[in-house]
A and B are shown apart, each in its own frame.
Chain A
Amino acid sequence: MMNENKILFDTGSLGELSKELGKLTDKEKSKLKLNPDNAESGLAKLVMTLVELIRKLVEKQAMRRVDGGSLTDDEIERLGETLMKLENKMDELKKHFNLTEEDLNINLGPLGDLM
């Protein structure tokens, strides 16, 4: 029966657990609210989320290459310039569409957060 106590062991994180479970039921933030009045911002959130995900993947791969030590001074310089400009452009777009970093890190339910 469901009245059986399901918490077998806890070292003080029940509050955190309940917050995380709350994220699963509070889908409002993750929802793509598309309607005639907000079609632009709803779509912007979706597109920006995908672009941000790809940007972070590119950045990660670039850092792996830097960490590998195979890049020349010039390549590091150009890489830095490109990544910095990409990040700045994303910040500009987020401001334009009134989105925060949290808005783009959508919760995928049982899979956890996107980023």
Chain B
Amino acid sequence: MDKMIYAILSVKKKSGKLDALLATLKGISGASLYAVVYEGIIAVVSDIEKSDLITDRSNAIEYASIIESLVQQFPLLPMCYGSLMESTDAIAEMLGRNYTELRQNLKKVENMREYGLKIFCDPEKLKSEFQAISKNDINILIEPSTEVKNSVYREYVRNKLKEHRLEESIMTYVNSVIAEISGCLARLNAVCKFKKMPSATIMVDAVFLLRKDKKDELLKVVNDLKNQYQKLNFVLTGPWPPYNFVDTRIK
């Protein structure tokens, strides 16, 4: 039977707190959860048959719920769904091999929570707003300087250049929004990661790691941003376990 790892966490003092919590939780397929300990870092695991490891919505939610319950009480590094090892000895060895990196990451996420901010835009409205700016000087660049007649190819380049200018203008705007958010969150000592325009409607997809007592300040920042950028829509979610802020690969 394999061992499924849910999270790696640190427990400062030997106490019954973790055991008591694990006794109230059930793993995938209703299996009991238990701890594999190595020098103060702990892997929370359950036994599982490989054939029971089904990747579906219900198991994914169950898995996330367990991590969510653990993160309420301990600093932890969430593991990917489906992280299996063949024995508790192999897990202890893995903890030993990766000890320094795991410790560093656990220290980084201690008392921290992750938040996600998605900023939505209406792509058509955004394009029409920036259309005027992007037209500047295009004719100067594309008009033939000699007696060459305007051709279909030249017209094609002119249209493509308009599109290119439009994209560049929008990207400049996106960068300015990101700079504004970074500035506001720097005051909260947040660690930020941004993705620009990951889809047509999401202008910015950001994740932040910040101290758990800063939630209200974060809400105020997002509220101020909304007032500043009234045409954009904001969705802030969290607090989450630090899914996007673990910088280690298990060796």
A residues apposed to B, CB below 8 Å: 1-2, 4, 6-14, 16-17, 19-20, 23, 25, 59-60, 62-64, 66-67, 69, 73, 76-81, 83-84, 107, 111-113
Contacts and interface: CB of A to CB of B under 8 A. Distances in A.
B120 A16 contact: yes
Interface stretch (B8-16, B38-46, B74-82, B144-152): B144-152
Contact of B219 (A9, A13, A16): A9
B94 interface: no
Interface of B: 57, 61, 64-65, 68-69, 72, 115, 118, 120, 141-142, 144-146, 148, 151-157, 160-161, 163-165, 195, 197-202, 205, 215, 219, 222-223, 226, 233-238, 240
A83 B115 CA distance: 43
Contacts of B155: 80
B68 A13 contact: no
B65 A80 contact: no
A59 B160 contact: yes
B161 A63 contact: yes
Given A63-B164, A112-B199, A112-B202, 17 more contacts: A1-B68, A1-B72, A2-B64, A8-B219, A9-B236, A11-B226, A13-B120, A16-B233, A66-B161, A73-B146, A76-B154, A77-B153, A78-B153, A80-B153, A80-B156, A112-B205, A113-B199
Contacts of B198: 111-113
Nearest to A79: B157
Nearest to A25: B57
A78 B155 CA distance: 12
A6 B238 contact: yes
Given A77-B153, A80-B157, A10 B65 contact: no
Contact of B237 (A6, A11, A78): A6
B115 A60 contact: no
B32 to A, nearest CB: 19
Contacts of B195: 111-112
A2 B62 CA distance: 9
A105 to B, nearest CB: 9
Contact of B164 (A4, A19, A60): A60
Contacts of B226: 9, 11
Most buried by B among A69, A80, A107, A112: A80
A9 B156 contact: no
Contacts of B120: 13, 16-17
A12 B154 CA distance: 43
A25 B58 CA distance: 13
A7 B199 contact: no
B235 A73 contact: no
Top 4 nearest A-B pairs (CB, nearest first) are A112-B198, A80-B153, A63-B164, A13-B233
Contacts of B199: 20, 23, 107, 112-113
B153 A7 contact: no
A77 B234 contact: no
B66 to A, nearest CB: 10
A66 B234 CA distance: 36
Contact of A69 (B141, B164, B238): B141
Contacts of B164: 60, 63-64, 66-67
Nearest to A63: B164
Contact of B200 (A9, A12, A113): A113
16 contacts: A2-B64, A6-B237, A8-B222, A9-B219, A9-B236, A11-B233, A11-B234, A63-B163, A66-B141, A67-B164, A77-B148, A79-B157, A80-B154, A111-B198, A112-B205, A113-B200
